[in-house]
Amino acid sequence: MIAVLPRPLLAAAVAAGAIAWLATADAYGLRLLALGGVYALLVVGYQLVLGHAGALSLAQGALFGIGAYAAAMLTSEIAWLARAFPLTLAASAGAAMLAASIVAVPVLRLGAHSFALATLCLAQAAVLAALHGGALTGGANGIAGVPLPRLGAWTLPRGLALTLLAWACAGAGAWIAWRLTRRGRALVLATLRDAPDAAAALGIDAGRMRFVAFVAGAGLAGAAGALQAHVVGVASPESAGLGVMLACLAMTVVGGSRSLWGGMAAALLLVHLPEWLRAFDRWSIFAYGAALLIAVLFAPDGVAGLFARRRAAPEPLPAAPPPAVLPAPAPRAAAGAPALRARGLAKRFGGIAALDGVDLDLVAGRITGLIGPNGSGKTTLVNLLSGTVAADAGAVTIAGADGSLRALAGPPHRRARAGLGRSFQMPALPPGLSAADAVAAGWLAQRPADGSVPALAQARAQALALLRDAQALPWAGATCDALPAGARRLVDIARACAAGPRVLLLDEPAAGLAPDEATALGQLLRDRAAGGMALLVIEHSMGFLMPLADRVVCLDAGRVIAVGPPQAVAADPTVRAAYLGQRVGQRVAP
């Protein structure tokens, strides 16, 4: 029933309940409510890292402890700072952000599991530093006597005022998190989180975005730690301990990793839950664990996920793009000019030569087909060109906006920003986004995702135009996890085109497509080539590729064995022996 209430009425009901709770709470109840606000701020910061950036950090509790110790040290050692709560709060957040910035550069380069272990080591180091910090940290006893928040001669009293301050800070943190993750940024973050390889191919700088999320989340954790030190009056090693991290993780999972209100509600709930379970006496810890297990089993997406599913309604499917749709961005290179040139590309995996001195030229306005038997090195070549895999030898150059060739190097997102795009054999689309929003994320990837309404509206307009060109417009409002295989591939290719590359690499784009879908795809690729784009198409379906390609390159055992017009390559005896004769067994008409 709650989920279907109008939002103004729901907000009024929540406000009335909060006022009644505050009015009837005793001193201990207000203390718990204040701690609920502290943990709500901590969880909001952790949602930036785990829920939006997709990085499992186990250091949020340590950053919380750094903030607590910073506030305790500043207020106990510097008298005038003890009377300037806003400054100590900012300094505590800054201390946590500084620590996060120092460790983020090396640890954010690690894979998911290694990153989690590295941040766990950071958490343990913080606890050890607190325990063995001597007079500076107070050792195992910590720093006691942390004063209440003060502003000049005025001291904030315990009780209702301190509780309201804690929740005001939690609200401010939620506003910061909302600003960092709204509208266009939400689409880009969803792509980064759920399809990291595709995000890099679109030009999304995963390292930069995760760094911002990690440091911003650290700042909110440091502020929460400072508040906790003022509320309880002490900063101890427990403030940075694993218990805080586990509590934060549980609150995030129970509330929902990306729902602000869900995370804040879960923080309030789990702070009070041990008190409500005291009736179980020595069995209370088991009851607490059972309650968490039930919440995870019946609400795997958090409490917010339950409400979202009840409110969800299918988006209306647009019959046609709106009149304001602009044409998709396209390069303006002169047809026939070199767009990409590779020389001597080589790659070995152990003792196997996947590529051995491959030369390749892609020309603006032309479609180059790449064929060869399985294991000939086709996908490896695309991975080397896009930067997904580092080449052992060779060089790649790409035409710039002025037409001059320049070195193409660095990680995939830098190559994408230089004008190189690609699709994948297995399309990776964010399951929670609609097809239109998945393509819009491709348009936003290389543009400032400032969260503005005009930027998002323009990106969605571009997405609808591209989906229309790919004959996938009827799927625009469907979520990506509900798309059939053929539609997923068309949406993936439309997304790759949305980034506006000058060179586009397609890995088996027609696989799994129905005849009408393949026809629409062929027309889309011809249109992109007519706009000046250079395309490389890997394809096993000769009936699709041969009429489409202007030129065909054949690989076998990592080497180029034939290059030329489709008809000439199809008739080449070496090609037929290596590929066509074995797989098809008949002459293929160009």
Closest to 195 in 3D by CA, of 422, 381, 385 = 422
Better-scored residue on pLDDT, 435 or 571: 435
Residue with tokens 């062929």: 522
Q: Which residues contact 433 (CB under 8 A, 6 or more apart)?
A: 187, 190, 191, 441, 479, 480
* Contacts by residues 517-526 (CB-CB < 8 Å, ≥ 24 positions apart): 517/471, 517/486, 517/490, 518/544, 520/470, 520/471, 520/490, 521/470, 521/471, 521/490, 521/493, 522/547, 522/548, 523/469, 524/469, 524/470, 524/471, 524/493, 524/494, 524/497, 525/367, 526/367
Q: What number of residues does the chain have?
A: 590
Better-scored residue on pLDDT, 300 or 320: 300
pTM: 0.83
Instruction: Report the C-alpha gap between 371 and 543 in whole angstroms.
Output: 13
User: Using CA of residue 190, residue 196, residue 197, residue 201, what is the dihedral sign?
Assistant: positive
Give residue 406's Cα distance to chain centre: 30
Provide the pLDDT for residue 328. Answer: 45
Confidence of residue 321 (pLDDT cuts 50, 70, 90): low
Mean pLDDT of 68-77: 91
Better-scored residue on pLDDT, 116 or 302: 116
Residue 301 has pLDDT above 90, yes or no: no
Closest to 228 in 3D by CA, of 31, 60, 77, 480 = 31
Residue 549 has pLDDT above 50, yes or no: yes
Q: Which amino acid is at 323?
A: P
Provide the pLDDT for residue 534. Answer: 92
Q: Are the CB atoms for 48 and 180 separated by under 8 Å?
A: yes
Provide the pLDDT for residue 230. Answer: 94
- Within 10 angstroms of residue 214's Cβ, the number of other Cβ atoms is 27
Residue 324 has pLDDT above 80, yes or no: no
Q: Are the CB atoms for 547 and 369 separated by under 8 Å?
A: no
Confidence of residue 177 (pLDDT cuts 50, 70, 90): very high
Residue with tokens 């991290």: 245
Query: Domain 333-419+501-590 belongs to what topology?
Result: Rossmann fold (3.40.50)
Instruction: Report the C-alpha gap between 47 and 335 in whole angstroms.
Output: 48
Q: What are residue 399's phi and psi, to 5 degrees?
A: -75, 135
Closest to 33 in 3D by CA, of 268, 360, 340 = 268
Instruction: Report the C-alpha gap between 315 and 243 in whole angstroms.
Output: 42
Provide the pLDDT for residue 334. Answer: 55
Q: Are the CB atoms for 174 and 260 separated by under 8 Å?
A: yes
Confidence of residue 76 (pLDDT cuts 50, 70, 90): confident
Task: Return the structure tokens found at 583.
Answer: 């797989």
Residue 319 has pLDDT above 80, yes or no: no
Instruction: Report the C-alpha gap between 183 and 189 in whole angstroms.
Output: 10
Q: Which residues contact 32 (CB under 8 A, 6 or more apart)?
A: 271, 272, 275
Q: What are residue 532's phi and psi, to 5 degrees?
A: 110, 0
Number of H helices, E strands in the chain: 24, 14
Distances (CA, A) of 282 to 240, 279, 286: 26, 9, 8
Instruction: Report the C-alpha gap between 118 and 530 in whole angstroms.
Output: 49
Confidence of residue 50 (pLDDT cuts 50, 70, 90): very high
Question: pLDDT per residue over 377-395, tens digit each?
Answer: 888 999 999 988 888 898 8
Provide the pLDDT for residue 589. Answer: 42
Instruction: Report the C-alpha gap between 378 and 371 in whole angstroms.
Output: 7
Q: Mean pLDDT check: name the lowest of 309-318, 341-350, 547-556.
A: 309-318
Q: Which residues contact 195 (CB under 8 A, 6 or more apart)?
A: 428, 429, 430
Q: Mean pLDDT check: name the lowest of 22-31, 148-157, 465-474, 541-550.
A: 22-31
Better-scored residue on pLDDT, 402 or 147: 147
Q: Which residues contact 402 (CB under 8 A, 6 or more apart)?
A: none
Confidence of residue 228 (pLDDT cuts 50, 70, 90): very high
Residue 329 has pLDDT above 60, yes or no: no
DSSP letter string over 568-583? Answer: HHHH-HHHIIIIIHHH
Provide the pLDDT for residue 100. Answer: 92
Question: pLDDT per residue over 232-241, tens digit each?
Answer: 999 999 988 8
504 DSSP β-pair partners: 421, 535
Task: Return the structure tokens found at 334.
Answer: 């002169």
Instruction: Report the C-alpha gap between 459 and 467 in whole angstroms.
Output: 12
DSSP letter string over 358-369? Answer: EEEEEETT-EEE
Better-scored residue on pLDDT, 311 or 406: 406
Task: Return the structure tokens found at 197.
Answer: 């390889």
Rg from Cα positions in the chain:
29
Confidence of residue 27 (pLDDT cuts 50, 70, 90): confident
Mean pLDDT of 330-342: 68
Provide the pLDDT for residue 410. Answer: 85
Average pLDDT taken over every residue of the chain:
84
- Tell me the domain boundaries of the chain: 28-240, 333-419+501-590, 428-500
Provide the pLDDT for residue 300. Answer: 64
Q: Are the CB atoms for 197 and 428 separated by under 8 Å?
A: yes
Residue 582 has pLDDT above 60, yes or no: no
Q: Mean pLDDT check: name the lowest of 332-336, 415-419, 464-468, 580-584.
A: 580-584
Judging by DSSP bridges, how do beta strands 154-155 and 352-363 pair with one another?
unpaired
Q: Which residues of 358-397 are buried (b: 16+ CB within 10 A; e: fewer)?
A: bebbbbbbbbbbbbbbeebbbbbbbbbbbbbbebeebebb
- Within 10 angstroms of residue 350's Cβ, the number of other Cβ atoms is 6
Question: pLDDT per residue over 470-525, tens digit each?
Answer: 888 888 888 998 888 888 989 999 999 888 888 999 988 888 888 888 888 888 89
Residue 44 has pLDDT above 90, yes or no: yes
